[in-house]
C-alpha cells in the first residue's frame, strides 16, 4: 500500500498539520510535521520522501482553510488533542546584568551615527539597552556619534528620524547627547593625556607608522617630550597641519599581540572647508575617532553597562588603556554574538545610496528592513521586541529569518485584526438558481463575535447573482466540482470560460461542503466591491477589489485579508492602498 492510500496515516498527518497550523496563525509548516510523524512512526524513516510529498499535499489543503475552519475541524475530530496541545507560552526574560548592584543606578546607552535611518540591525542594541535600563529602573541614554564629517558623514534629517524610530519602538531616551556638541570636552582630555605623556601627536606618514608598529617599534614621535607634543597639538588645532599630516595617538603597548591595539589613533584632522559638519559647520578641524569619543563619553555620562556586539571586543581592549591613563574603571561590557536575519540586511551605505538614486521609493520602501518600512507594513514593535528579548544577549551567533519575525507578529495581530475579503485580480463568477435571498453575516473576527459583522444581501435576479473571486481560485476551478463561498453557500462549477465562471447553487450547509471536500473561497458580491491595491514586500502592486465594508477603514489599521495575509491600511480615499505584512 502506498502512503497516499493509507487512510490512518493521512488522518494522522491531517491532525498534525491542523494542530501545527493552529500554533502558527493558520499556516502549518511542513518541516515540523515530518519530524513529528517520523517521531511517532519510526518505520516511516525509510520512506521520508514519499511521506514528505504526502505531508506537503495535506499541508496545502489545511492551509487553504481559514483559522476558524481549521479550529472547527480539530474540534470535530480531535477534541481531546486541542486541550492537550495548547502551546505552552514560555515567558523568557533577560538574564540579569553583571554587577548591577555595584552601581547606584544602571545606565545604558544607544549610540548611533546619524548617517542613515535605523534598521532591524540596530534593534538588538536598542531593545536590550532600553530593556535593561527599564528592568533596573535605570536610565537609557541616546548619544549621537556624529564625529566623522568626512567618511561616515551625518545627515541632519536622520537625527530626527532616529528619535522617531526610538519613540515608535517604545524606547524613548531619558537623556540625549550629541557628540558634535562636545568637541571642547574631547580636546581637554586630549590635552591632559598629552601633558601626562599618555598620548602623543604622531606626524609620521601612515605607511611609516604602520611599518614601525608591525615591527613592534615606537615611531619617531612617541618618545618626544610632552611639551613638544603640546606644541604640535596647538599646531593641529591652528591649522598648521593638513589632513593626514598629524594624528593624536593614545599610548598602549607597542608590543601588544594585536597590532590593532598598538597606539591607536584618537583624533585626526579633517579639512573643515571641504567637509563641513551638518550641525557645526566648519568650526572644527580636529575630530575625535570612534574609540576616543566613545570611550570618554561612556565614562563621562556615567554609563554602567555597555551592551553591544562582540565586534567591539577589541575596542574594549583599546579603550582600557585610556581608562588606565585617566584613572577610571571601565564599565561592565556585554558583548553579544552576531544576529543575522537572512535576506534582511543591506549595508547602511547601500540603503542611503539606493534611496538617493531612486532605486527605492523612500526610507520606508517595503524592500528595506528599516524600521520605517516595517512600520509601514504593519510589523509591530511588540514582535520586534519579543524576538530580540527571546534571543537575549547571548554570545553565540544567531540566525533568524523573516519568517521568525512574521511568526511573532502574527501572534500579536491574529487576535486583534479584523477580517475582510480582498479579491486579487477579480474574475466574475455567475451563480444561477439561487433559491432565495441570502443575508450572510461575516464575523469581523472568527472568535470575537462582539467585534461585529460585515453584512451583505445576495438577491437573485434573472440569471442569478455575480461574485468576484480571485483569479487564483478561478484558475483552480474545475467543471463539476463544488466550491464553498465562505459563510454563504456551496456552488457547483458549470462552465469555465476565459475570464469568467458559471456555477449553479448546490446547497447551503457547511457540512455539505465538507462532505464534498469543497474548497472554501472568499468572494465579493458584484456591486459591493471597492478598488484596492496591496503593495507587496518586493514593491510589486497587487491590484484587486476589497469588500465595501473596507471603505470605513482608517489609515494605520492593520487587518487580515482572509486567505491572503495581514496588511496595514496606508491610504483610504477613492481607493484603498494597503501594505502587505505577511501571511
Q: Label residue 170 left, alpha or beta by phi (over 0 means left) and psi (-120 to 50 means alpha).
A: left
Binding status of residue 201 toward Zn ion by CB under 5 A: no
Q: How far is the CB of 265 from Zn ion (least distance, A)?
A: 11
Nearest in space to 400 (alpha carbons), one of 413, 389, 387: 387
Contact at 8 Å (CB) between 421 and 364?
Answer: no
For Zn ion, which is the closer residue by CB, 265 or 276? 265
Q: Would you call 538 exposed, middle or buried from its count of C-beta atoms within 10 A (0-12, 13-18, 19+)?
A: exposed
Which range, of 161-169, 178-186, 199-207, 355-363, touches Zn ion by CB under 5 A? 199-207
Question: C-alpha grid cell for residue 276?
Answer: 563641513
d(CA 313, CA 288): 20
Beta-carbon contacts of 476 under 8 Å, excluding residues fewer than 6 positions away, are: 519
Beta-carbon contacts of 272 under 8 Å, excluding residues fewer than 6 positions away, are: 281, 282, 283, 284, 285
Q: How far is the CB of 222 from Zn ion (least distance, A)?
A: 6
N residues, the chain: 583
Q: How far is the CB of 315 from Zn ion (least distance, A)?
A: 22
Total residues at interface with Zn ion (CB under 5 A)? 4
Q: How far is the CB of 272 from Zn ion (least distance, A)?
A: 24
For Zn ion, which is the closer residue by CB, 199 or 549? 199
For Zn ion, which is the closer residue by CB, 21 or 202? 202
- Interstrand relation of 529-535 and 576-582 (parallel, antiparallel or unpaired): parallel
d(CA 450, CA 59): 31
Binding status of residue 202 toward Zn ion by CB under 5 A: yes
d(CA 406, CA 412): 10
Torsion over CA of 507, 511, 517 and 521, rounded to 10 degrees? Answer: 70
Beta-carbon contacts of 105 under 8 Å, excluding residues fewer than 6 positions away, are: 136, 137, 138, 139, 304
For Zn ion, which is the closer residue by CB, 116 or 219? 219
Strands (E), 124-220: 139-144, 175-178, 199-202
Q: How far is the CB of 225 from Zn ion (least distance, A)?
A: 14
Q: How far is the CB of 203 from Zn ion (least distance, A)?
A: 6
For Zn ion, which is the closer residue by CB, 59 or 202? 202
Binding status of residue 193 toward Zn ion by CB under 5 A: no
For Zn ion, which is the closer residue by CB, 117 or 204? 204
For Zn ion, which is the closer residue by CB, 232 or 445? 232
For Zn ion, which is the closer residue by CB, 205 or 466? 205
For Zn ion, which is the closer residue by CB, 202 or 444? 202
Q: Would you call 308 exposed, middle or buried from its count of C-beta atoms within 10 A (0-12, 13-18, 19+)?
A: buried
Q: Is 559 helix (H, G, I), strand (E, B) or coil?
A: strand
Q: How far is the CB of 209 from Zn ion (least distance, A)?
A: 5
Q: How far is the CB of 320 from Zn ion (least distance, A)?
A: 22
For Zn ion, which is the closer residue by CB, 219 or 521? 219
DSSP string for residues in 223-274 = TS-HHHHHHHHHHHHHT-S-TTS-EEEE---TT-SSGGGTT-EEEEE--TTT
Residue reference for cell 610632552: 226
Q: What are phi and psi of 135, to 5 degrees?
A: -60, -35
d(CA 144, CA 178): 5
Q: How far is the CB of 262 from Zn ion (least distance, A)?
A: 12
For Zn ion, which is the closer residue by CB, 202 or 387? 202
Which range, of 6-14, 154-162, 194-202, 500-508, touches Zn ion by CB under 5 A? 194-202
Which range, of 69-77, 197-205, 461-469, 502-510, touches Zn ion by CB under 5 A? 197-205
Binders of Zn ion in range 41-100 (CB under 5 A): none
d(CA 371, CA 375): 6
Nearest in space to 492 (alpha carbons), one of 461, 475, 513, 471: 513
Q: How far is the CB of 136 from Zn ion (least distance, A)?
A: 44
Contact at 8 Å (CB) between 92 and 389?
Answer: yes
Residues 219-248, mask of contacts with Zn ion (x by CB under 5 A): x-x---------------------------
Residue 373 CB coordination number (10 Å)? 24
Which range, of 198-206, 265-273, 404-412, 485-493, touches Zn ion by CB under 5 A? 198-206
d(CA 524, CA 527): 8
Q: How far is the CB of 305 from Zn ion (least distance, A)?
A: 36
For Zn ion, which is the closer residue by CB, 202 or 355? 202
Q: How far is the CB of 216 from Zn ion (least distance, A)?
A: 15
For Zn ion, which is the closer residue by CB, 51 or 219? 219
d(CA 411, CA 62): 19
Q: How far is the CB of 319 from Zn ion (least distance, A)?
A: 21
For Zn ion, which is the closer residue by CB, 218 or 446? 218
Binding status of residue 412 toward Zn ion by CB under 5 A: no
Contact at 8 Å (CB) between 410 and 566?
Answer: yes
Whole-Å CA distances, 75 to 11, 133, 337 = 14, 45, 43
For Zn ion, which is the closer residue by CB, 41 or 211? 211
Listed as own residue / partner, the contacts of 505-511 with beta carbons closer than 8 Å and 24 or more positions apart are: 505/431, 505/432, 505/433, 505/434, 505/435, 505/464, 506/482, 510/484
Q: How far is the CB of 211 from Zn ion (least distance, A)?
A: 11
Q: How far is the CB of 228 from Zn ion (least distance, A)?
A: 12
Residues 204-223, mask of contacts with Zn ion (x by CB under 5 A): x--------------x-x--
Residues 145-184, mask of contacts with Zn ion (x by CB under 5 A): ----------------------------------------
Contact at 8 Å (CB) between 285 and 302?
Answer: no
Q: Residues interacting with Zn ion, by CB under 5 A?
A: 202, 204, 219, 221
Amino acid at each position: 500500500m502506498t502512503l497516499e492510500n493509507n487512510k490512518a496515516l493521512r488522518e494522522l498527518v491531517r491532525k498534525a498539520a491542523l494542530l501545527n497550523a493552529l500554533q502558527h496563525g493558520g499556516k502549518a509548516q511542513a518541516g515540523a510535521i515530518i519530524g513529528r510523524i517520523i517521531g511517532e512512526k519510526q518505520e516511516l524513516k525509510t520512506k521520508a520522501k514519499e511521506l514528505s510529498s504526502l505531508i506537503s499535499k495535506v499541508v496545502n489543503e489545511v492551509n487553504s482553510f481559514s483559522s476558524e475552519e481549521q479550529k472547527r475541524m480539530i474540534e470535530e475530530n480531535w477534541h481531546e488533542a486541542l486541550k492537550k496541545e495548547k502551546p505552552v507560552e514560555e515567558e523568557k526574560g533577560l538574564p540579569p546584568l553583571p554587577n548591577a548592584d555595584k552601581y547606584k543606578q544602571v545606565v545604558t546607552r544607544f549610540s548611533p551615527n546619524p548617517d542613515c535611518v535605523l534598521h532591524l540591525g540596530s534593534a538588538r542594541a536598542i531593545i536590550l539597552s532600553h530593556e535593561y535600563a527599564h528592568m533596573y529602573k535605570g536610565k537609557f541614554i541616546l548619544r549621537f556619534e556624529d564625529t566623522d564629517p568626512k567618511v561616515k558623514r551625518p545627515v541632519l534629517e536622520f537625527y530626527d528620524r532616529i528619535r522617531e524610530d526610538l519613540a515608535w519602538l517604545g524606547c524613548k531616551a531619558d537623556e540625549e547627547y550629541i557628540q558634535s556638541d562636545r568637541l571642547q570636552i574631547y580636546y581637554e582630555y586630549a590635552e591632559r593625556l598629552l601633558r601626562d605623556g599618555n598620548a602623543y601627536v604622531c606626524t609620521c606618514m601612515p605607511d611609516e607608522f604602520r611599518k614601525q608598529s608591525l615591527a613592534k617599534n615606537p615611531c619617531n614621535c612617541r618618545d618626544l617630550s610632552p611639551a613638544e607634543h603640546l606644541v604640535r597639538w596647538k599646531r593641529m588645532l591652528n591649522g598648521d597641519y593638513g589632513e593626514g599630516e598629524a594624528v593624536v595617538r593614545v599610548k598602549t603597548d607597542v608590543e601588544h599581540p594585536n597590532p590593532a591595539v598598538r597606539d591607536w589613533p584618537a583624533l585626526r584632522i579633517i579639512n573643515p572647508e571641504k567637509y563641513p559638519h551638518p550641525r557645526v559647520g566648519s568650526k572644527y578641524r580636529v575630530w575625535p575617532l570612534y574609540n576616543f569619543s566613545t570611550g570618554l563619553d561612556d565614562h563621562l555620562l556615567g554609563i554602567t553597562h555597555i551592551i553591544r556586539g562582540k565586534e567591539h571586543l577589541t575596542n574594549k581592549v583599546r579603550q582600557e588603556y585610556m581608562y588606565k591613563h585617566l584613572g577610571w574603571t571601565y564599565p561592565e561590557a556585554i558583548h553579544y554574538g552576531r544576529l543575522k536575519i537572512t535576506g534582511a540586511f543591506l549595508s547602511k551605505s547601500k540603503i542611503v545610496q539606493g534611496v538617493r538614486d531612486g532605486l527605492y521609493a523612500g526610507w520606508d520602501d517595503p524592500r528595506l528592513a528599516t524600521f520605517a518600512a516595517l512600520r509601514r507594513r504593519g510589523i509591530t514593535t511588540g514582535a520586534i521586541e519579543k524576538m530580540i528579548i527571546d534571543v537575549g544577549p547571548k554570545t553565540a551567533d544567531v540566525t533568524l529569518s523573516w519568517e521568525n519575525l512574521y511568526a511573532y507578529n502574527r501572534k500579536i495581530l491574529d487576535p486583534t485584526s479584523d477580517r475582510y475579503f480582498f479579491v486579487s485580480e477579480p474574475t466574475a463568477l455567475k451563480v444561477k438558481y439561487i433559491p432565495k435571498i441570502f443575508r450572510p453575516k461575516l464575523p469581523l473576527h472568527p472568535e470575537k463575535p462582539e467585534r461585529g459583522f460585515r453584512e451583505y444581501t445576495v438577491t437573485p435576479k434573472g440569471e442569478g447573482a455575480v461574485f468576484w473571486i480571485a483569479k487564483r481560485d478561478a484558475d483552480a476551478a474545475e467543471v463539476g466540482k463544488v466550491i464553498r463561498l465562505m459563510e454563504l453557500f456551496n456552488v457547483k462549477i458549470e462552465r469555465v470560460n476565459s475570464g469568467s465562471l458559471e456555477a449553479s447553487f448546490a446547497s447551503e450547509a457547511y457540512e455539505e461542503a465538507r462532505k464534498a471536500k469543497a474548497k472554501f473561497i472568499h468572494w465579493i458580491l458584484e456591486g459591493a466591491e471597492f478598488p484596492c491595491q496591496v503593495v507587496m514586500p518586493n514593491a510589486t502592486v497587487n491590484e484587486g477589489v476589497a469588500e465595501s465594508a473596507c471603505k470605513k477603514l482608517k489609515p494605520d489599521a492593520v487587518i487580515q485579508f482572509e486567505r491572503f495575509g495581514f496588511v496595514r491600511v496606508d491610504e483610504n480615499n477613492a481607493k484603498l492602498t494597503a501594505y502587505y505584512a505577511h501571511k
